[in-house]
Amino acid sequence: MEFTAWSQVRKGVEQQKYILLDLRSEGEFAKGSIPHARSLPLLDNKERSAVGTLYKTEGKGPATRLGLELFAGKAENFLNQCVSYNECCHRIVLYCWRGGMRSRLVAMWLEAAGIPVLILEGGYKKFRTFVLQTLEELAQQEFLVLNGLTGTGKTKLIQEMIEDGLAAIDFEGIANHRGSAFGGFSQARGTPTQQDFENQLADAFLKIGSAKKILVELENNIGPVSLSKSLRNALCSSPMVYLEKDFDGRVTFLADLYAERWNHEEEQKFLVQMQQVKRFLSTDDFQTICTSIRKQNFNSVITILLKNRYDKAYGKSLLRHRRQMLASFNISYETASAKAYLRQYLTN
């Protein structure tokens, strides 16, 4: 039975030599897991609860015996899954909450069946400590921050710079959310938990390597997840580049973006979310938006929201940061110039 540190396991996962199996219950996994791990619970939520209750009332011995009895009924299927992973030439790495009893029992059983395994040292608990330390290191980095009104394509530009191999982190991409009251619309996946957001953010930072400067967008709360206070403070005090785009271009860009997966369910969700911004709008504007969204007149909806809510809110933020602006580009016709500037800044 071999215990291995996360730094070594991470290299094996990146090289597709290791496969991570999370032995915790599906409820524990749903709250947060290591990126790329697969859930293979030793006990499900109800079983784990029963074992925990017995542990509190009768002690470790009876609780352990109950756990083994409950696992016995699913042992064959569990073993078959592990065999299939092993046959794919992957080295199996097991982890539970602390790399304790669950991992050790499964490791001994699998090794007896001829399947070599590793145990992640310290389990998920120690991994989380590593993640939080990594995010504090991220907050100490040198950033170049994109700022600008909604719909100027800040996130799109960051994604393009990542594709070009430059040091950049897409906070909204990791969050699967665009940050506003409507930021969860037309997303291929749901927003991760706060733990998973932090886990994936730390992973994205580590993939950048030794870059001295990192391109990001100014963010704080991104839907239900948020950046740490230290990271937010670092972004707010960093040099910035201001992006703008012609108003009609912003409206068209946002209409295409938010209506990509539009259906009746999205419409109902939109009308519910409108209650969050209702207080910022006149009664006439609110009614016009509700009528227009039912007719799928997205340009009208976006025009009203930009002029009467979001441009005003973002405008105040831009004024606070105006002294930090190093350069300004209109993405309607200066995309190439903006990319060239960002590339030079990040690589010098």
Q: Which residues are catalytically annotated?
A: 96
Provide the token pair at 292.
């227009």
Cα separation, 162 vs 99, whole angstroms = 35
- Which residues lie below 8 Å from residue 312, measured CB to CB, with a gap of 6+? none
Rounded Cα distance, 229 and 186, in Å? 28
Tell the burial category of 285 from Cβ atoms under 10 Å away from its Cβ (0-12, 13-18, 19+).
middle
φ and ψ of 228, to 5 deg = -65, 160
Tell me the two tokens of residue 85. Answer: 């992973």
Cα–Cα distance for residue pair 251/50, rounded to 1 Å: 55
Copy the structure tokens of residue 283: 């009664």
